[in-house]
Chain A
Amino acid sequence: MLEAVGVSGMRDLFADIPAEFHLQQGALNLPDGLSEAAIVRKFTQAADKNRNAGSTACFLGGGTYHHFVPAVVDYVISRGEFLTAYTPYQPEISQGTLQTLFEFQTMIARLTGMDVANASMYEAATATAEGALMARRISRKNRVVMAASVNPRYRSVTANYLSRLDGECIEVDCGEFGTDIDKLIEAIDDATACVIVQYPDFYGSVYDLALLRAACDAHKCLMVVVFSDISAFSLIESPGALGADIAVGSGQSLGIPMGYGGPHLGLFTCKQRYVRQMPGRVCGMTKDANGKRGFVLTLSTREQHIRREKATSNICSNQGLMCTAAATYMTLMGDAGLATVARHSAAALQSLVSNLPEHVSTASGAHYNETVLSFTDHAARGRFLAAAQADNIFGGIPLERIEPGAQARHLLVATTEMVEQDDINRYLSALEAAR
């Protein structure tokens, strides 16, 4: 092949790179290459140093949840035709990805009660930021109001995205472990582009959005609803039914493993009339030259490869494979299975909080599958976490790990259908033992 190319050696192919930058072979400080067997051994040894939720009862949430993933989901996304395809820019040979995306968009729109969904964003925090940016474009206003009961990580990324643009991003204190709608309404004015709330909120609290919706209408501002565990919407009213203009959040609960932070699935939905301001890829239905139904990526004039600096977002990729996972998961579950997941998740939390010993308190009011447990002090919480871990339980996330500045005596606790009654009983025993 060198001969066909007309060079005498490999290095001739790199003659356009100045000689001073050429690396000597083997000069990089890396280990020698491994055989396949050695790679498996290396990763297995590393995996063995971790404790995982496969063998440990997991009460951790905060935006990532240990829901059940049926075997079929991983089988489908392991198929090379899905796994190793590129973005479906050649639709004639990408109808598998495209029809799956169309089904995904439809199911996400239905679950969230929204008109339309796009073909996904990276994850929930960046989706929240994109929601704020989209609300600014639609309203042509640049003041963003955000409830402090939105996951602090989503808030921090959103504030970061907005900080280099004109306008302001205001966080409204919402009281302890809940969402104070009155304070949010007070913070909205005619210059406000949108108000961002999380529902259920970061502390798991479920609350009514009707008054906030009315206040948004009065000030012509958009209501952006964020969610972290979409399984809730098979049980409680959807963001769309509550009047959200834009609803964004995580789809990790739909058949995607926790994976130490990713890849997860950012969801982005909105009202039909706003679709041309949406960020990211979107799949639409059309016909082919023979009149047969088919699917394409569409509305691409919003996107960076066409519109460059005037695009609605800089995003180029999506979480395509995770969309396929979520679509497969939802197909297996159907309404009935999703409702069972939600009911079991809520029932597990109820079973836990209704049996707490008196030295541990929790917020009142409706919660879905997440809440805050408060201990008398840091030491009491530490005793519990150690006792729980000794009995193979991840007991919760110290609140200050996600919410800097929180008192170091609170624990964010979440439940899913993976939590069995025996896990709860052992959890309660650990609380007793660590009194």
Chain B
Amino acid sequence: MSQSASTTYKYSATSGIQHEEALLFEHAHEAPSSVNLPGVDGDVPADLAAFSRSAAAGIPGLSEPETVRHYVRLSQWNHGIETGFYPLGSCTMKYNPRVNEQVVRLPGLCHIHPDQPDDTVQGALELLYELQQWLCEIAGFSNITLQPAAGAHGELTGLMMIRAALDARGQQHRKKVLVPDSAHGTNPASAALCGMYTVELKSGADGRIDLNELRANLDDDTAALMMTNPNTAGAFESNVKEICSLVHEAGGFVYGDGANLNALVGVARPGDMGIDCLHINVHKTFATPHGGGGPGGGPVAVNDRLAPYLPVPRIEKNGDVFSVLHASDTSIGSVLGAIGQTGVLLRASAYIAAFGRNHLHKIAEDAVLNANYVLSRLKDAYHVPFDGLCKHECLLTDALQEKHGVKTLDIAKQLIDLGFHPMTIYFPLIVHGAMLIEPTETESRETLDAFCDAMLEIAAQCEAGDTDILHEAPIKPFRRRLDETQAARKPVLVWPN
């Protein structure tokens, strides 16, 4: 284990100068703001003054240096992809190129108002229109909306279009949505929000959609199947063509959850396989930063059957002139108060531009290679529920460790002390004690080896019965395990006045 010892030295968490940082509200505050504000220094008009706020809100101000120090210290309590490996399955935590941050901050792209005249935003419209073309081409569809603000929002948008298409056929009664039991929780939640109901499809023994189970649940009430491909077990649904045919023959649509598009980008296209519409998580596949939870972006690409129902506003091109279309007779309407989360979309555009026709396939190839490399190194030490090669993520469970009293949660927390962000845990729900590892294409073999060494070290600790340390972990970060039960039982969501 000499290699393991040296990598532990290189990567494991340690302590240097560490600062506790008080809550903002516990700092001493100076009354005047340190910000020198521009503008018209006039009085509030009398009719407005009649509505004056009775007491100040209680927003504590800090000087600029104190503000910077407060948030820099807080930032140092965080782990980000720029800090280290972040193998969250189904989250695609790849490196976010810095040039993307630079270009979206150009004044001509960031200080433009969504209701400026179209002739003053031709450059922005051109970039967004081009992104539409690129995403359609990459995913294999004929049209797209950039409006949805996230993947879940895209699901709702796609289901709205499917309902509109069914309405147009006079099939308002079709409200049943089939969702595999391996699906993201957003799938059933989005269907409910769209006034539909879900029927869960039990996965087959190989973790994939069971064709008999699918056939048994297709009927005249079926509106759609929502499928994630590769699925959340990291397996490609090789029967995709037959699955789509079955759904189409039953009069339904196939909704593609594009959360795992990173496995296919440049290599194969969901639109070619029979999927009718697909949301694309640009914050996953196209490297827009996750920001501690968002913003995301969930453009929805569609084929000709659903194109008439796309949301407005939409970008149109006439000759060399771009314009924004605000209304259309067949559209489902708007799902957001804007054309989309433009800053997120432009980062995705810059990312695609960097790869282009000649390099895009390397994204999926390297992502799938890295995941299979991790699988190959860990498959003897951890239980692998489904055999065979994986796609961009590999699924393990804690079955071998549980007999030593160690659970997935303990393994995850010990990884923190060894210097890694844990993988996705307890998802998908179709296996007990799931550990879903998605390394992405931007990690070096050195990093993958260090992570695998850490995983093997934990497995060895279990075998040796050296498990106390695993139950205690993590001990190195600023905070140990947190009491989530107390937080939920008596929620304290704001600091008292």
A81 near B75 with CB under 8 A, answer yes
Q: Which residues of A contact B116 (CB under 8 A)?
A: 50-51, 60, 394
The contact of A25 among B241, B361, B370, by CB within 8 Å, is B361
- Which of A168-176, A182-190, A211-219, A347-355 contacts its partner? A347-355
Q: Which residues of B contact A160 (CB under 8 A)?
A: 160, 332-335
Query: Smallest distance from the beta carbon of B476 to chain A beta carbons, Å?
Result: 9
Say yes or no: is B305 at the interface (Cβ < 8 Å to chain A): no
Docked pose: A32 CA to B389 CA in angstroms: 31
A82 near B291 with CB under 8 A, answer yes
A299 near B47 with CB under 8 A, answer no
A-B CB contact pairs (8 Å), 21 listed: A1-B369, A21-B273, A22-B268, A34-B354, A43-B109, A52-B109, A54-B111, A60-B115, A75-B68, A82-B292, A84-B95, A87-B293, A92-B479, A122-B294, A160-B335, A284-B491, A319-B294, A322-B295, A338-B59, A343-B42, A417-B39
- Which of B22-30, B211-219, B462-470 contacts its partner? B22-30
A55 and chain B: residue at smallest CB distance? B107
A36 near B342 with CB under 8 A, answer no
- Which of B97-105, B399-407, B453-461 contacts its partner? B97-105
Q: Which residues of A contact B477 (CB under 8 A)?
A: 92-93, 95
B242 and chain A: residue at smallest CB distance? A18
Say yes or no: is B190 at the interface (Cβ < 8 Å to chain A): yes
Given A111-B57, A123-B338, 16 further pairs, Cβ under 8 A: A48-B108, A81-B77, A85-B290, A90-B412, A93-B416, A107-B24, A110-B57, A110-B58, A164-B163, A300-B488, A309-B191, A314-B153, A314-B190, A331-B62, A340-B33, A366-B50
Query: Smallest distance from the beta carbon of A360 to chain B beta carbons, Å?
Result: 18
Evaluate whether A87 and B113 lie within 8 angstroms (CB atoms) in the complex, with A32-B356, A348-B39 already known.
Answer: no
List residues 356-408 of chain A with CB under 8 A from any CB of chain B.
365-368, 385, 389, 394, 397, 401-402, 404
Q: Which residues of B contact A322 (CB under 8 A)?
A: 291, 294-295
A51 near B120 with CB under 8 A, answer yes
Query: Smallest distance from the beta carbon of B47 to chain A beta carbons, Å?
Result: 4
Say yes or no: is B497 at the interface (Cβ < 8 Å to chain A): yes
The A-B contact count (CB < 8 A) is 694
Docked pose: A147 CA to B108 CA in angstroms: 36
Interface bits B38-61 vs A (CB < 8 Å: 1, else 0): 111111110110111110111111
Docked pose: A1 CA to B56 CA in angstroms: 62
Q: Which residues of A contact B375 (CB under 8 A)?
A: 5
Evaluate whether A85 and B78 lie within 8 angstroms (CB atoms) in the complex, with A46-B123, A51-B120, A346-B48 already known.
Answer: yes
B79, B156, B189, B337, most chain A CB atoms within 10 A: B337
Q: Which residues of A contact B52 (CB under 8 A)?
A: 235-237
List residues 15-62 of chain A with CB under 8 A from any CB of chain B.
15-18, 21-23, 25-26, 28-34, 36, 39-40, 42-55, 58, 60, 62
A46, A63, A166, A283, most chain B CB atoms within 10 A: A46
B114 near A36 with CB under 8 A, answer no
Query: Smallest distance from the beta carbon of B272 to chain A beta carbons, Å?
Result: 5
Docked pose: A103 CA to B76 CA in angstroms: 17
Q: Which residues of B contact A294 (CB under 8 A)?
A: 479, 482
Q: Which residues of B contact A126 (CB under 8 A)?
A: 149, 153, 335-337
- Which of B2-10, B85-93, B248-256 contacts its partner? B85-93
Q: Which residues of A contact B336 (CB under 8 A)?
A: 122-123, 125-126, 157
B114 and chain A: residue at smallest CB distance? A261
A332 near B62 with CB under 8 A, answer yes
A49 near B123 with CB under 8 A, answer yes
Q: Which residues of B contact A316 (CB under 8 A)?
A: 150-152, 184-186
Say yes or no: is A253 at the interface (Cβ < 8 Å to chain B): no
Say yes or no: is B376 at the interface (Cβ < 8 Å to chain A): yes
Say yes or no: is A154 at the interface (Cβ < 8 Å to chain B): yes
B53 near A1 with CB under 8 A, answer no
Q: Which residues of A contact B74 (CB under 8 A)?
A: 95-96, 99-100
Query: Smallest distance from the beta carbon of B168 to chain A beta carbons, Å?
Result: 15
Query: Smallest distance from the beta carbon of A75 to chain B beta carbons, Å?
Result: 7
B21 and chain A: residue at smallest CB distance? A99
Q: Which residues of A contact B413 (CB under 8 A)?
A: 92
The contact of B495 among A66, A102, A206, A401, by CB within 8 Å, is A102
Query: Smallest distance from the beta carbon of B89 to chain A beta carbons, Å?
Result: 11
Query: Smallest distance from the beta carbon of A231 to chain B beta carbons, Å?
Result: 11
Docked pose: A10 CA to B364 CA in angstroms: 10
Q: Which residues of B contact A119 (CB under 8 A)?
A: 293
Q: Which residues of B contact A76 (CB under 8 A)?
A: 68, 71-72, 75
Docked pose: A303 CA to B112 CA in angstroms: 35
Q: Which residues of B contact A157 (CB under 8 A)?
A: 333-337
Docked pose: A79 CA to B493 CA in angstroms: 25
B35 near A332 with CB under 8 A, answer yes
Say yes or no: is A431 at the interface (Cβ < 8 Å to chain B): no
Docked pose: A320 CA to B344 CA in angstroms: 13
Interface bits B106-149 vs A (CB < 8 Å: 1, else 0): 11111111111100111110110000001001100000000001
B268 near A286 with CB under 8 A, answer no
The contact of A49 among B50, B122, B346, by CB within 8 Å, is B122
Say yes or no: is B202 at the interface (Cβ < 8 Å to chain A): no
Say yes or no: is B397 at the interface (Cβ < 8 Å to chain A): no
The contact of B80 among A22, A84, A153, A281, by CB within 8 Å, is A84
The contact of A397 among B115, B294, B296, B342, by CB within 8 Å, is B115
B40 near A351 with CB under 8 A, answer yes
Docked pose: A401 CA to B325 CA in angstroms: 10
B77 near A95 with CB under 8 A, answer yes
Say yes or no: is B194 at the interface (Cβ < 8 Å to chain A): yes
Evaluate whether A260 and B353 lie within 8 angstroms (CB atoms) in the complex, with A314-B192, A316-B152, A316-B186 already known.
Answer: no
Say yes or no: is B372 at the interface (Cβ < 8 Å to chain A): yes
Q: Which residues of B contact A299 (CB under 8 A)?
A: 488, 491
Q: Which residues of B contact A241 (CB under 8 A)?
A: 53-54
Docked pose: A206 CA to B340 CA in angstroms: 29
Q: Which residues of B contact A317 (CB under 8 A)?
A: 149-152, 283, 293-296
Interface bits A208-252 vs B (CB < 8 Å: 1, else 0): 100000000000000000000000011111100100000000000
List residues 300-357 of chain B with CB under 8 A from any CB of chain A.
326-327, 332-344, 346, 350, 352-357
Docked pose: A213 CA to B159 CA in angstroms: 37
Say yes or no: is A277 at the interface (Cβ < 8 Å to chain B): no
Interface bits A104-122 vs B (CB < 8 Å: 1, else 0): 0111011101011101101
Query: Smallest distance from the beta carbon of A390 to chain B beta carbons, Å?
Result: 12
A258 near B114 with CB under 8 A, answer yes
Docked pose: A60 CA to B115 CA in angstroms: 7
The contact of B77 among A13, A74, A99, by CB within 8 Å, is A99
A17 and chain B: residue at smallest CB distance? B268
Query: Smallest distance from the beta carbon of A200 to chain B beta carbons, Å?
Result: 9
List residues 10-36 of chain B with CB under 8 A from any CB of chain A.
21, 23-25, 29-35
Say yes or no: is A433 at the interface (Cβ < 8 Å to chain B): no
The contact of A64 among B59, B114, B341, by CB within 8 Å, is B114
Q: Which residues of A contact B59 (CB under 8 A)?
A: 107, 110-111, 330, 333-335, 338
Docked pose: A309 CA to B495 CA in angstroms: 32
Q: Which residues of A contact B346 (CB under 8 A)?
A: 43
Query: Smallest distance from the beta carbon of A159 to chain B beta carbons, Å?
Result: 8
Q: Which residues of B contact A30 (CB under 8 A)?
A: 134, 137-138, 352, 356-357, 360
A16 near B138 with CB under 8 A, answer no
Say yes or no: is A318 at the interface (Cβ < 8 Å to chain B): yes
Q: Which residues of B contact A116 (CB under 8 A)?
A: 493-494
Q: Which residues of B contact A335 (CB under 8 A)?
A: 31, 56-61
B83 and chain A: residue at smallest CB distance? A81
Q: Which residues of A contact B110 (CB under 8 A)?
A: 52, 257-259
Docked pose: A160 CA to B164 CA in angstroms: 12
Say yes or no: is A146 at the interface (Cβ < 8 Å to chain B): no
A70 near B35 with CB under 8 A, answer yes
Say yes or no: is B483 at the interface (Cβ < 8 Å to chain A): yes
Say yes or no: is A139 at the interface (Cβ < 8 Å to chain B): no
Docked pose: A82 CA to B335 CA in angstroms: 28
List residues 368-398 of chain B with CB under 8 A from any CB of chain A.
368-370, 372-373, 375-377, 388-389, 391
